[in-house]
Amino acid sequence: MFAFAVRLCREPRVVLQRLFQCFFVWGQPAPRGAAGDAQLIVTQAMSDCVDGGSSETNFVVAELARKYHAELGIPIFSQKEVGRILEAMGVQVVSNAPTQSTTPILSKKYIGTEGVARLQKVFCDSRAWARALIVVPYPHFWRALWIYERLGLQVIVPEGLPKMKFQSNLSQWRWRRAITAYPYELAARLRSLCRGLI
């Protein structure tokens, strides 16, 4: 909390703007930047199903990532839930961030949005890349976007990002219904803001 207070003193306008966005920005994002300028496609995934199968949202994310991969000829660094689908489609990914669904959220081994983004940023840095086209379902898109920007990536937002589809059989209970997903996402945004991640 001390770090948050220091940041608030140093960048009050930025912090207050982000705080406002945490509560009020939820809709489909507008395209940003030219897709042709991207050097890498990055994805974040939604929960797998309880039976280990892929969620509807992850299929849609994979399909959109495949589309831009085919159009732009650039590599994909995916979260594993989406990467597994891409590989089944015959699309090679340069790397997969670990899956979220196999590790409890409170475990130190849990790889969440920030962890996935950091792995992708390290990959970009190793190749002196700075421009990433992100394929993430909204409303989760917004937190991912803010984290990528805070890490220093130049984010390109494509057209037609999908909305999360809530399913009753998802392994992560918070994404099963809107009534649990939106409060969880708001809490995660506020936590990320307090930790200086967004």
Helix spans in the chain (H): 2-10, 12-24, 56-72, 80-88, 113-126, 140-151, 178-194
Domain map (residue ranges) of the chain: 37-194
Give the pLDDT score at 190.
Answer: 96
pLDDT at 156: 98
Q: What is the pLDDT of residue 100?
A: 61
How much is the pLDDT for 115? 93
In the chain, which stretches have pLDDT less than 50?
none
The yes or no reply on domain 37-194 and CATH 3.30.450 is no
Q: How far apart are CA 132 and CA 134, in angstroms?
A: 6
- pLDDT for 111 equals 79
pLDDT of residue 129: 97
pLDDT of residue 109: 65
Per-residue pLDDT at 105:
52
| Residue 176 DSSP code | S
Write down the pLDDT at residue 37: 97
- Cα separation, 132 vs 122, whole angstroms: 12
User: Is residue 45 a contact partner of residue 61, using CB atoms and an 8 Å limit?
Assistant: yes
Which structure tokens are listed for 6? 């220091």
So what's the pLDDT on residue 3? 73
**pLDDT score at 177:** 96
Q: How many CA atoms lie within 13 A of 181 on its CB side?
A: 19
0.85 surpassed by pTM: yes
Provide the pLDDT for residue 94. 93
